[in-house]
A and B are shown apart, each in its own frame.
Chain A
Amino acid sequence: MELLEIKELSKNYLTKKQVICAIKNINLLIKENQFIALVGPSGCGKSTILSIIGGLEKKSSGQINFMKKNLKVGYMFQEDALFPWLNVLDNCMLGLKIQNKETKENKKYVKTLLKKYGLSSFEKSYPKELSGGMRQRVALIRTLATKPDILLLDEPFSALDYQTRITVSDDVFKIIKQEKKTALMVSHDINEAISMADKVIVLSNRPSIIKNVYEIKMENKSTPSENRKNKKFNEYYNLIWKDLDHYES
């Protein structure tokens, strides 16, 4: 089932000195349970696309059609943005509190998530006591708490070191799949995009248009870290790398 349709989406940022045309005529269709990755050169407008879908920025023209009534989006940023003065549980309850949905049921759901993903003994801990990977898992659970239909992930792992990044992307991938969520992820890292996504969308330099779309089809597709060892992995890598390289030079 389709969840979200983006048609001819364009965005201009207006500043005193100039008009920055960030994205131009972007078309995108997101189906339920799909994992889509957006890659493209720095500053090409990847975050802009997510911000518009998430309602944080206004579009200049085009359409965003939610195919489901009251479709809810959940955001996850590069910085985990956990509030240092709140403990893990309260951080996870933040979105629910703001939306006045702090019911017993929802609290139970959050606690189940924390338990399921190995954080229940840290409920009362403060963010500074957690490792980078744990913090990112807490941030994901905070986003999941409000039961969004689509997750928007803006370079969620780029603040982590390489080793942690791979294990955390496995964790996050597992959580997203188990909770049956749809995800749109922005990434700088081609490896990460191929290993996690069903579909990789390559954007061009600014004003960015869709340069190419790759359906990632691998035999025995499994966790992101396993997918990295797949035969087809390098094939996709080379194709996408060429797309990006061409535009960056």
Chain B
Amino acid sequence: MKAKEEHKKYLKNIKWQNIKVITSQILIFIVFMVSWQILSDKGVINTFLCSSPKKVLETIISLYKSNDLLIHVWVTLKEILISFGLGSIIGIIFAAILWWSPFLSKVLDPYLTILNSLPKVSLGPIIIIWAGANQNSIILMALLISTISTIISVYVGFKHTNKTSIKLLKSFNANKFQIFIKAVLPYNINTIISSLKINLSMTFVGVIMGELLVSKQGLGYLINYGSQVFNTNLVIAGVVLLGILTSILYFLILFIENKLKKEW
């Protein structure tokens, strides 16, 4: 009985702690927004340079009313999903090829390292010359930024698959393909998921980078356009929308991660 009560108390305490954390988080947000609004109303900060919560909200609503909001969000989302999907598939396949051929992985090692440490943004102008000032170069940009690091982290995971498991499969006369499917891939599900998480944020960087450089639509374009016409409201509205989009995709990946991890 006593142990049960103690446990109850313990659970209550945890719940209370959680409530405190969440309340504080919400409070910080509210205090920030309210003081931003009040300071702009009182003219302490320049709304022309710093905008205000009300104005940002108004901008978003007017974007929605003129049917622009969904178009811009959709364009960016589409670019992100295409680059993320392609980048993940290419990254994993390439990592598998490197695992398959130790010779190839040795040969390509220095090139991958150089490509990985190169600031890919510097390739932006060349990409635009090659692929044209259109969505293709945005996707290419995002792929370039995200794929190399996916290849490297997934390959490292593959290489460190439990040795005894591979030996066991070999003792059953498994071929290399069977070893890959039965042991290497399932062993690295967690590695793959965590590299996909990084891949996603890299893809965001790539897509926005690309949109800032070339696009005529999308959130990156909105931000860029806003800054060119000195419309801070629009710039901040773009950033806020981007933040919301990132969080949604991030939580989606967390959800998938939890689903997949549950198995063991």
Contact = CB atoms under 8 A, between A and B. Distances in A.
B178 interface: yes
B172 A84 contact: no
Interface in B238-264: 263-264
A173 to B, nearest CB: 21
B168 A84 contact: no
Main secondary structure of the interface of A (DSSP, over half): loop
A83 B165 contact: yes
A146 B172 contact: yes
Interface in A73-97: 73-75, 77-79, 81, 83-85, 94-95, 97
A95 B186 contact: no
Which interface residue of A55, A77, A81, A97 has the most chain B CB atoms within 10 A? A81
A85 B186 contact: yes
Interface string B155-192: 00000001011011111111000100011001001000
B186 A77 contact: no
A77 B169 CA distance: 12
A26 B224 CA distance: 77
Contacts of A98: 169, 172-174, 178, 182
Interface residues of B, number: 18
A220 interface: no
Given A77-B164, A94-B182, A56 B170 contact: yes
Which interface residue of A54, A74, A94, A146 has the most chain B CB atoms within 10 A? A94
A94 B263 contact: no
Contacts of A79: 164
A171 B157 CA distance: 36
B165 A81 contact: yes
Contacts of A70: none
Contacts of A99: 172-173
A99 B168 CA distance: 13
B193 to A, nearest CB: 14
Contacts of B162: 81
A110 B169 CA distance: 18
Contact of B168 (A81, A97, A128): A81
Nearest to B181: A98
A102 to B, nearest CB: 12
Nearest to A73: B171
A78 B167 CA distance: 12
Contacts of A77: 164, 167-168
Contacts of A75: 167-168, 171
Contacts of B186: 83, 85
B170 A85 contact: no
A126 interface: yes
Contacts of B167: 56, 75, 77, 81
B164 A81 contact: yes
A85 B161 CA distance: 14
Given A126-B264, A146-B172, 17 more contacts: A54-B171, A55-B173, A56-B170, A56-B171, A73-B171, A75-B168, A77-B164, A77-B167, A77-B168, A81-B165, A81-B167, A83-B165, A85-B189, A95-B172, A97-B182, A98-B173, A98-B174
What are the 5 A-B residue pairs with the smallest beta carbon separation, nearest first?
Answer: A75-B171, A95-B172, A81-B164, A84-B264, A98-B172
10 contacts: A55-B173, A56-B167, A56-B171, A77-B164, A81-B164, A81-B167, A85-B263, A95-B172, A98-B182, A128-B264
Interface of B: 162, 164-165, 167-174, 178, 182-183, 186, 189, 263-264
